[in-house]
């Protein structure tokens, strides 16, 4: 019983500190071709895909803090290189910390700028 109380005491405060999030209608991503130094902004709706050179970028969902649209957006992306079969990136990418879950590619870089609401 004591261990149950201890566990509840440890996890309940963390759960109450969780931030409310809103699912946006899409996201604005930035892509960089490191070889020629050009960048492009890509506006994607949830579930949409686009091409960046030989990469296919698929946005599943973009979320942002309920109290701050311009805040810490995070998007679930799948990025596929046409030269391979497995995705080179699949997961959540965070706008304020792109290096936290960065895509590793020798030529291209992709990061999240913000969610869209319309």
The 26-33 sheet, strands edge to edge: 38-45, 26-33, 108-116
Per-residue pLDDT tens digits for 48-87: 999 999 999 999 999 999 887 667 899 999 999 998 889 9
pLDDT score of 10: 52
Structure token pair of residue 14: 């963390």
pLDDT over 60 at 115, yes or no: yes
2: phi then psi, degrees, rounded to nearest 5: -65, -40
């Amino acid at each position: 019983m004591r261990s149950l109380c201890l566990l509840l005491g440890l996890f309940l405060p963390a759960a109450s500190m969780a931030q409310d999030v809103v699912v946006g209608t899409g996201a604005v991503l930035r892509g960089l071709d490191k070889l020629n130094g050009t960048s492009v902004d890509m506006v994607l709706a949830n579930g949409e895909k686009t091409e960046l050179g030989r990469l296919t970028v698929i946005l599943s969902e973009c979320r942002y803090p309920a109290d701050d649209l311009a805040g810490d957006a995070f998007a679930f992306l799948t990025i596929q290189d046409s030269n391979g079969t497995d995705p080179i990136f699949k997961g959540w990418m965070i706008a304020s910390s792109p290096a936290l879950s960065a895509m590793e590619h020798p030529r291209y870089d992709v990061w999240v700028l913000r969610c869209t609401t319309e």
